[in-house]
Structure 1
């Protein structure tokens, strides 16, 4: 029981990290597009 909870927690934190990385990549891409349009 305890192990499965820890595994779930680990999975959740990994998922959050992946989502954060995707957000950062999207923001960089948007910034590049924005700068490209205005330059």
Structure 2
């Protein structure tokens, strides 16, 4: 079932995107290590 695999991949990618967004917001919230971007 390729559709099931696609759903799992989308769900995992969404989880990774959320984790990255949280990390970026956390770093931006501190405002200390934003110069190396």
Give 5+ residue unaligned stretches, structure 2.
Answer: 33-37
* Aligned-pair Cα RMSD in Å: 1.2
TM-score, reference length from structure 2: 0.79
Equivalenced residue count is 32
Give 5+ residue unaligned stretches, structure 1.
Answer: 35-39
TM-score, reference length from structure 1: 0.75
Larger radius of gyration: 1
